[in-house]
């Protein structure tokens, strides 16, 4: 092996090592920098918080945090029993006492070896003094959100407390609408699913947890017209059937008369009979003899 070849192979080895080191560094940086996807469908039902992991990865843990405030949420604290857990649920009953004093909000974030996902706020399945109650009704191309007026927040803060209604097509980012009473959304697309959630707002700041999303399919106005068309067609059919029966049973003769083509007597029959058709009684030169009737007696039995 010549010294030149040895040097070149050593250079190759160095280059390869350099590439490997670079690769490892990039992988390390990437795995450290890349936060896990945030959990989905985060909700609280009777102080049991649940979520859906966005990834099947094993090394993901979750941390639940809470904030208790009737105004601006300034500090998020970890829920003691729910930090870096691998399950997708946690019992948050110990916050019940906290919730007696002020409205509690909850959120959860995923964590992969110290790299945290964006936190996701929980909605509440139960309406209470901190989560508004609402109900949805639909009409053709329209949806109404019915809200309850008597809530603790309104008593406490009078006119400064409002509802924020989040409304949008299913799958789209919903838009927030401030309102103090029930509200309607019109000119909606028939057949489309629209979703709503509602939260209490105090001076533009959300208070407590929003209610979980409810969705409804909007009926289209064509669907609403269909029964009207069916009724009209049915009424029309009944009228036609009744009229036909009446005509058939009672007016058959008249109809026949109407339907008859105008009848004209042939001219020949209307003309006075011509002279030659008058029968001439036989006279004397006839061979037969006739008795001349002098009188006719009608002999009736009764």
Ligand X SMILES: *[C@@H]1O[C@H](CO)[C@@H](O)[C@H](O)[C@H]1NC(C)=O
Using the Cα atoms of residue 296, residue 297, residue 299 and residue 302 in order, give the sign of their dihedral: positive
- Minimum CB distance to ligand X, residue 39 (Å): 19
Q: How far apart are CA 206 and CA 49, in angstroms?
A: 20
- Minimum CB distance to ligand X, residue 48 (Å): 5
- Minimum CB distance to ligand X, residue 45 (Å): 9
The smaller minimum CB distance to ligand X, of residues 48 and 172, is found at 48
The smaller minimum CB distance to ligand X, of residues 48 and 57, is found at 48
The smaller minimum CB distance to ligand X, of residues 48 and 155, is found at 48
Helix, strand or coil, per DSSP, at residue 103: coil
- Minimum CB distance to ligand X, residue 50 (Å): 10
Residues that bind ligand X (CB under 6 A): 48, 91, 93
The smaller minimum CB distance to ligand X, of residues 55 and 86, is found at 86
Q: Say what the alpha-carbon torsion angle 261, 267, 272, 275 is, to the nearest 10 degrees.
A: -140
The smaller minimum CB distance to ligand X, of residues 96 and 189, is found at 96
Please, what is the angle between helix 221-250 and helix 252-259, to 10°?
90
The smaller minimum CB distance to ligand X, of residues 89 and 185, is found at 89
Question: Torsion-angle region of residue 61: left (phi > 0), alpha (psi -120 to 50) or beta?
Answer: beta
CA distances (Å), 191 to each of 84, 141, 188, 215, in order? Answer: 43, 9, 9, 12
Q: What are phi and psi of 44, to 5 degrees?
A: -120, 130
Tally helices (H) and strands (E) across the chain: 6, 17
Q: Where are the alpha helices (DSSP H) in the chain?
A: 3-33, 96-101, 152-157, 221-250, 252-259, 267-270
Q: What is the largest CA-CA distance in the chain?
A: 177
The smaller minimum CB distance to ligand X, of residues 82 and 198, is found at 82
Token pair of 258, please? 């109407």
- Minimum CB distance to ligand X, residue 91 (Å): 4
- Minimum CB distance to ligand X, residue 44 (Å): 11
Closest residue by beta carbon to ligand X: 91
- Minimum CB distance to ligand X, residue 94 (Å): 6
């Amino acid at each position: 092996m010549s010294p030149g070849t040895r040097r070149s192979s050593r250079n190759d080895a160095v280059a390869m090592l350099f590439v490997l080191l670079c690769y490892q560094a990039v992988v390390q940086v990437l795995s450290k920098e890349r936060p896990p996807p945030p959990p989905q469908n985060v909700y609280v039902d009777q102080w049991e918080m649940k979520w859906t992991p966005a990834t099947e990865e094993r090394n993901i843990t979750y941390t639940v945090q809470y904030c208790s405030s009737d105004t601006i949420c300034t500090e998020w604290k970890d829920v003691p029993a729910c930090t870096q857990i691998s399950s997708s649920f946690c019992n948050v009953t110990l916050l019940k006492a906290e919730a007696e004093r002020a409205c509690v909000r909850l959120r959860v974030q995923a964590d992969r070896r110290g790299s945290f996902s964006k936190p996701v706020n929980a909605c509440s399945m139960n309406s209470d003094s901190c989560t508004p109650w609402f109900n949805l009704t639909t009409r053709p191309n329209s949806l109404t959100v019915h809200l309850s007026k008597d809530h603790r927040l309104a008593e406490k803060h009078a006119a400064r407390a409002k509802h924020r209604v989040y409304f949008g097509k299913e799958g789209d980012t919903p838009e927030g609408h401030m309102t103090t009473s029930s509200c309607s959304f019109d000119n909606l697309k028939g057949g489309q699913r629209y979703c709503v959630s509602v939260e209490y707002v105090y001076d533009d700041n959300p208070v407590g947890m929003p209610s979980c999303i409810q969705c409804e399919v909007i009926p289209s106005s064509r669907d609403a017209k269909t029964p009207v068309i069916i009724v009209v067609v049915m009424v029309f059919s009944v009228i036609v059937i009744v009229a036909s029966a009446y005509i058939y049973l009672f007016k058959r003769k008249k109809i026949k008369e109407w339907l008859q083509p105008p009848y004209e007597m042939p001219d020949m029959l209307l003309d006075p009979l011509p002279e030659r058709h008058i029968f001439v009684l036989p006279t004397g030169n006839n061979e037969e003899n006739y008795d001349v009737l002098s009188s006719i007696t009608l002999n009736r039995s009764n």
